[in-house]
Chain A
Amino acid sequence: MKYALLLYGDEAVGPQMGTPEMDAEMAQWFAFTEELGATGKMLGGEALQPIATASTVRIRDGKTVTQDGPFAETKEALGGFYLIEADNLDEMIAWAEKIPSVGYGTVEIRPIMSFD
């Protein structure tokens, strides 16, 4: 099965850019990606720029409305994702437990929709 690991978090919580704590965490992210990649099960994955860089687009009454920022009211924003091939949910839970931000953010496991 294919799954997405969606990494949510409050940008004000956890290590901040340019701090030694962040350097330490980055090492963990690289190690995680390397471990996952070595299994041949990683289908993709990216980190996202902070929500300050986000734009939202909607079409309402036939008009395109473009706005600054995300429209979600929640404090937790999507910060990155991995796409993983796994046998079952327990395997994904085991990967989620290894995500460096799982101690202060939220990791959501979503199966990928299949259309065949």
Chain B
Amino acid sequence: MPPPALSSVDAAFRREWPQLVATLVRDLRDLELAEDVAQEAFMEAARRWRIDGTPDRPGAWLLTTARRRAIDRMRRAQRFEERIPALVEAAERPPPDDVLADDQLALLFGCCHPALTIEAQVALTLRAVAGLSTTQIAHAFLVPEATMAKRLVRAKHKVRAAGIPFAIPEGELMHDRLTAVCAVVYAIFTEGHASTSGATLVRGSLCDEAIWLAETLAELAPREPELHGLAALCLLTDARRATRVDSDGQPVLLANQDRSRWDRTKIERGLSHLHQASPAGRHSVYRLQAIIAAVHTTAPTWEETEWRAIVAVYDVMLEQGGGPVVELNRAAALAELKGPAVGLAQLDSLADRGLLGDYHYFHSARAELLRRLDRFSEALTAYERAIEWCQNDSERDWLQGRHDELTANEAGRAGAS
């Protein structure tokens, strides 16, 4: 038996799924039905294209097939009379190219509606907009497949029963809802970039999905600077992906990363988005973070990093109400600019206000500065606190390694003296 020639279907899936689902949601006003028939159309394609060859316009073929499936299903469900006239009419006309972008945006806004929990928004977006399977999403978020399936079913039920619209919001609502969409895309990215509870530090496929979503969004709504800021942030952060962990899966500090292996293409794309993200008044938080990422990725070495610029961006973030984590990052940058003692004083001021005591990055940042100041026993205690609060296995191993290395150095020093 010859192997199934699935490659053209696979290629079409990535390219056509978002548009297909978006168009079907517009026709059917039912996300669950739209996804089901889109899935069936791809299964049909896997069977038919092998025999008949790939059609000239795969997208149009898939849409026609999916619409026919929808008509069959509605007939069975006796919702025929309600919706069939519009659908039959839709099935007759070719997909008008210019409305597809709007359909995709409308679908995305529906999936990221604030009446859904953020977990549901993320899952729906990955399923309906990015076309990931339930299994893939479950693996990415390290939850059992049944849990993710239940989450998706519940979310789709809420969408239908509550009448969550698939529409591009107008006027003032647009800004609020765009913020929600950005939050979902960024949540997908950060989950991929540094999972909080998983055994693997970088789950790259989620980063790829987020970058694809951010860049698609920026392309569909080019006048929204926040979207370019988000795309820039994801790209400039992800450009360092290959160097963030070593061959044993251990994290590598930015200072020690092999900069020649950073992804130049992503850096260029990120910088190009950053140029289009100029603020129209208020600074978008994504853009500010993207500027910091840009300073890092364009610095030839750690020592030659423009720390002054980074501290200045953190100052703007603090002016805009940035919290203690911003202060922590600013302190770390300040330590590079003015020395570890200055940075440490800033960290101690956070501790004096009772802030970040349960945040492992606070303790690991403190440990590194104390180490540079030769205050070894305090550094060891700080590493221990960091290990205590750290949720990520590989980061905890790394912290333990730093701790043990320092202990060994100290023992060596004591022995030598």
Interface members, chain B 155-205 (any A CB < 8 Å): 161-165, 167, 169, 173
- Count of CB-CB pairs between chains A and B under 8 Å: 25
| B167, A90: Cβ atoms closer than 8 Å | yes
- Report the separation of the CA atoms of residues A111 and B162 in the bound assembly, to the nearest whole angstrom: 6
Q: Which of A3, A87, A89 contacts B115 (CB 8 A)?
A: A89
Interface size class for chain A? Answer: 10 to 19
| A90, B173: Cβ atoms closer than 8 Å | yes
Interface size class for chain B? Answer: 10 to 19
| A89, B162: Cβ atoms closer than 8 Å | yes
A51 at the interface (CB under 8 A from B): no
The B interface, classified by DSSP as helix, strand, loop or mixed, is: loop
| A90, B161: Cβ atoms closer than 8 Å | no
- Chain A, residue nearest B29 (CB): A88
B403 contacts which chain A residues (CB < 8 A)?
none
A92 contacts which chain B residues (CB < 8 A)?
163
B244 at the interface (CB under 8 A from A): no
B228 contacts which chain A residues (CB < 8 A)?
none
| A90, B162: Cβ atoms closer than 8 Å | no
| B165, A111: Cβ atoms closer than 8 Å | no
B113 at the interface (CB under 8 A from A): yes
Interface members, chain A 75-111 (any B CB < 8 Å): 86-90, 92-93, 109, 111
A22 at the interface (CB under 8 A from B): no
- Chain B, residue nearest A3 (CB): B163
- Report the separation of the CA atoms of residues A92 and B164 in the bound assembly, to the nearest whole angstrom: 10
A111 contacts which chain B residues (CB < 8 A)?
161-163
Question: 1/0 per position for A17-59, CB-CB distance to B under 8 A?
Answer: 0000000000000000000000000000000000000000000
B163 contacts which chain A residues (CB < 8 A)?
1, 3, 86-89, 92, 111
14 contacts between A and B (CB under 8 A): A1-B163, A3-B163, A87-B165, A88-B163, A88-B164, A88-B165, A88-B167, A89-B163, A90-B165, A90-B167, A92-B163, A109-B162, A111-B161, A111-B163
